[in-house]
Amino acid sequence: MAPTNRQVAEHAFLKGMYEDEYFPDHVVDKGKAILLRLCERIEAERPPHLAALYVLTEAATEEFNALEAEFEAAGSEIETFAREAIAEDFWFVASAYGFAEADAEELIAGREW
C-alpha cells in the first residue's frame, strides 16, 4: 500500500543520493523503500504522540543499520552526505505527519552510521 499523504507521495526521497554516482541506485532504492514503509506504518498505526513515533522511526533506523553492509558490498558507505540525506528525510516524514517538533537526532537515535 502506497502512502496516502500528499506531501509524502510527491516527495523525492534520498534525491541527493540518487544524483551522486557514489551511491548505487539499487541500494538507495532499498533505503527509499525503508522510508516508504515507515510512512505506511505511520498511516496505519497513527502514533498519538512523539514517543510512539520514535518507536516507529527506531525500527526504520535499524533497517538502515542493516543496509550499511549492502552499501559496503557495493563499494559505498553511509557517510556524512548520506547520513544528512537520510536524517533530513526522517525529519521530513515526521513533519509531514504532524510531528514538526520531533527532534531530528532522536528520530535516528539508534543509528550505527
Q: pLDDT tens digits, the chain, 113 residues: what are they?
A: 789 999 999 999 999 999 999 999 999 999 999 999 999 999 999 999 999 999 999 999 999 999 999 999 999 999 999 999 999 999 999 999 999 999 999 999 999 98
**Which residues, at least 6 apart from 4, have a Cβ–Cβ distance to it below 8 Å?**
43
- Largest Cα separation within the chain, whole Å, is 40
The Cα 113–Cα 100 span in angstroms is 24
- pLDDT at position 1, please? 75
DSSP SS3 for 41? helix
Report whether 94 contacts 100 (CB < 8 A): yes
- pLDDT at position 40, please? 97
Residue carrying C-alpha cell 522510508: 35
| Cell (9 digits) for 32 | 527509499
The Cα 106–Cα 91 span in angstroms is 10
Q: Is the dihedral of CA 64, 68, 69, 73 positive or negative?
A: positive
- Minimal CA–CA distance to 90: which of 68, 66, 70, 62? 62
